[in-house]
Amino acid sequence: MNSIDEKYEQIYRRCIEMCPEMKPLIEKIKLIPPPQYGEREILLKKIKFGDKNAKNRLAEMYLRSALHIALEVAEISSQPLEDIFSEAVIGLIERLNCPTENKNYSAFISAGMRIKAYNYVRENDVKFMSYEDYCEKIKKKYYDGERLM
């Protein structure tokens, strides 16, 4: 087993510890063969001609990365791993459906997954605020007395 495989085994174990319900999904992701040398470039060419199988294979290839990104973000934010993973996969699909001539396609895909994951955290981050701050926020949002006058 090489160092990349060992790294992903640690990621898989940590994900299962964090969210045991994801174990069947993680077991399926483990079975997906990693990208072969030059495979991504071949798939990208096929995708340009509308090959859906090539797009599916490319999506499968990036699921390990989506899991890795989701784990990173979940550990930092304490948000649910399964929700963040779902968002990362949405980011992956959005980037796969986005035509680009980006030379560093892996970075383009990874950025899309990270953006969706961190946006999820930002939108769902629950911060405690004082009662006065809460009242001010609600007043500004729902009641504009000057406008009503």
Helix-helix angle 81-96:52-77, to 10 degrees: 140
Residue 149 pLDDT: 47
- Residue 49 banded pLDDT, cuts 50, 70, 90: confident
CA distance 55 to 61: 10
User: CA–CA separation, 14 vs 20, rounded Å?
Assistant: 10
Segment 21-28 mean pLDDT: 95
Report the chain's mean pLDDT, rounded to a whole number.
84
Q: What pLDDT shows up at residue 81?
A: 94
User: pLDDT for 71-113, tens place per residue?
Assistant: 999 998 888 999 999 999 999 999 988 876 767 888 889 999 9
Q: Cα–Cα distance between 66 and 112 in angstroms, integer?
A: 10
